[in-house]
């Protein structure tokens, strides 16, 4: 099965890496923190049979530039809007995993006119709870320990071991994806971008950015929520709570899966996503419609 090669485009003076292929309605795939477009490598060719798939490396991640700047959800969302404009992609189904889920919700909130559907995969921004490791890394001075916690020689050695095990037929997708995130943090530029991103959404007590008070806005978009019931980064309870809060949303729980369901079960993930797209009508609400929803909710809450 062919893979989609990495390309580059320059936006606002910064290189943005991305993978794109296929024909048909567009699907935007947004990776998580310390990840890259490579996380979708098994899913991309499955979707590209009938859809145009676009998987960017967010700024500070993967092969995209890592400038000193704003790494908030709003900045990522605005950057994706500009990226899609350059590629001349006007509307799409937006899929976000982990941090990418928070970015996807922000994109739908800031730019509803370009979003046809919303898919949240082990998404951030739906509750306070998050892995203690991520909370610990937000503590003052943690960045000074990062070079010790993530030395480059460990990444090099681990990659050699990983390649050896892969040649021997050993497979553990969840561990492999976690390892790739670890290895990315052995590079100083990526560590700096990671810390800025991390502290924009998480503090010592948990996730500091939440979309829960705005989930009623998602009622205007067909929404799919996908989660692993053994997610040790963001608890599956967030999936059930979001499902209750978003009218007519669809919930899919992968039993035995962790934080990277799309990596552990790419075939099933792609089938569920394709079925969701085929059985729902694209959301058509624009900025005017969002204003009407906001005003109506404001009157109801008064």
Catalytic residues: 98, 231, 259
Sorted by sequence, the CB contacts under 8 Å of residue 125 that are 6+ apart come out as: 73, 101, 102, 105, 201, 207, 209, 210, 211, 212
Note the helical H segments in 152-282.
152-167, 173-184, 188-201, 237-245, 261-264, 266-278
Between CA 107 and CA 79 the distance in angstroms is 10
Residue whose pair of structure tokens reads 């024909």 in the numeric block: 23
Cβ-contact 130, 207 below 8 angstroms:
yes
Q: Identify the burial level of 1 via C-beta atoms within 10 angstroms of its C-beta, where 0-12 means exposed, 13-18 middle and 19 or more buried.
A: exposed
Residue whose pair of structure tokens reads 């059930």 in the numeric block: 240
Helix (H/G/I), strand (E/B), else coil: 221: coil
For β-strands 26-30 and 52-56, DSSP reports them as: parallel
């Amino acid at each position: 099965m062919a893979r989609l090669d990495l390309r580059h485009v320059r936006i606002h003076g910064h290189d943005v890496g991305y993978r794109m292929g296929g024909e048909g309605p567009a699907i935007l795939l947004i990776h998580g923190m310390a990840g890259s477009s490579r996380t979708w490598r098994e899913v991309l060719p499955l979707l590209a049979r009938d859809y145009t798939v676009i998987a960017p490396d967010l700024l500070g991640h993967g092969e995209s530039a890592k400038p000193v700047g704003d790494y908030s959800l709003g900045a990522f969302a605005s950057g994706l809007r500009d990226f899609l404009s350059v590629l001349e992609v006007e509307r799409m189904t937006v899929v976000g995993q982990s941090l990418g889920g928070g970015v996807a919700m922000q994109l739908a909130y800031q730019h509803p006119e370009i979003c046809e559907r919303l898919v949240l995969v082990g998404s951030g921004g739906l509750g306070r709870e998050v892995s203690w490791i991520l909370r610990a890394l937000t503590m003052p001075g943690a960045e000074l320990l990062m070079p010790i916690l993530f030395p480059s020689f460990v990444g090099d050695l681990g990659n050699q071991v990983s390649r050896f095990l892969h040649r021997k037929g050993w497979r553990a997708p969840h561990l492999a994806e976690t390892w790739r995130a670890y290895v990315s943090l052995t590079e100083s530029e990526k560590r700096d971008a990671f810390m800025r991103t991390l502290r924009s959404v998480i503090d010592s007590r948990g996730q500091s950015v939440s979309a829960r008070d705005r989930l009623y806005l998602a009622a205007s978009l067909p929404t799919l929520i996908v989660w692993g019931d053994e997610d040790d980064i963001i608890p599956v309870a967030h999936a059930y709570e979001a499902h209750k809060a978003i009218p007519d949303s669809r919930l899919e729980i992968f039993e035995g899966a962790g934080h990277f369901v799309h990596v552990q079960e790419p075939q099933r993930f792609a089938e569920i996503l394709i079925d969701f797209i085929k059985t729902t009508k694209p959301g058509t609400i624009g900025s005017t419609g969002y204003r009407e929803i906001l005003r109506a909710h404001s009157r109801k809450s008064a």
